[in-house]
Amino acid sequence: MTFRKILSFSMLGLIAGCYSFSGGGGLPNHIRTAYVAPVDNQSSQFGLSESLTEQLLEAARQRLGLRLASESEADAVIEATIRRWSDEAVNFDAVAGVGADVFQRRVTISASIQILDVANNMIIWENQGVTGAGEYQPDNETDEQGTIVALENLVQQIIDGAQSQW
């Protein structure tokens, strides 16, 4: 090996030693546990609260790597409120005298979310208008399938947003 190659590898090793890369979404080191409060549902759609609460519990554990804890023992508290649920036609043909022939519909769920760092009594991340959408074909699917996809997308938006801020 030439002197230049040895010097290059040595410098590369020195530079690499100065930087560290960590996974886990960039959570502050002291946040290891979370309490997910039961989701408040202000929409007209029944059952969303339970579904979103379950998905947030799973996401906190599996995607953020947090252990679940009681509110009094948690490092972070996650609170969410479902503000709106809607189901609208997005692809259709007008039919004279009848209305419309709908080919595709979209369920949209909007929520507000707040994640509190308990130790510092500080809001880590907050979003008053996070939204998830799920499309379905009314000929062979129901709004329930659209709702499932919308909830999955909503949780993904929450995880992405929270990780980008921490």
Residue type, 140: N
Residue 39 lies in a domain: yes
Is residue 1, in this structure, part of any structural domain at all? no
The answer as to whether 3 is a domain residue is: no
- Domain assignment present for 159: yes
- Give the chain's mean pLDDT: 86
Q: Which residues, given as ranges, of the chain have pLDDT below 70?
A: 1-27, 165-166
| 8 Å CB contact between 53 and 39 | yes
Q: Name the domain count of the chain.
A: 1
Cα(76)–Cα(69) distance, integer angstroms: 9
Q: Confirm whether 17 is domain-assigned.
A: no
DSSP state of 86: E
At 54, the amino acid letter reads E
Structural domain range at position 58? 27-165
Distance CA 115, CA 80 (A): 9
Q: How far is CA 28 from CA 19, 22, 36, 58, 120, in A?
A: 18, 11, 18, 20, 11
Question: Residue 94: what residue type?
Answer: A
- For residue 26, the model assigns a pLDDT of 55
9 inside domain = no
Q: Is residue 70 part of a domain?
A: yes
Question: Considering the domain boundaries, does residue 98 fall inside one?
Answer: yes
Task: Dump pLDDT digits (tens) for 4-36.
Answer: 444 344 444 444 443 333 344 456 889 999 999
Q: Where are the strands (E) in 8-151, listed by range?
A: 33-36, 40-41, 67-68, 76-95, 99-117, 122-136
What does the pLDDT read at residue 19? 34
Q: What pLDDT shows up at residue 27? A: 66
Looking at residue 135, which CATH number applies to its domain?
3.30.160.150
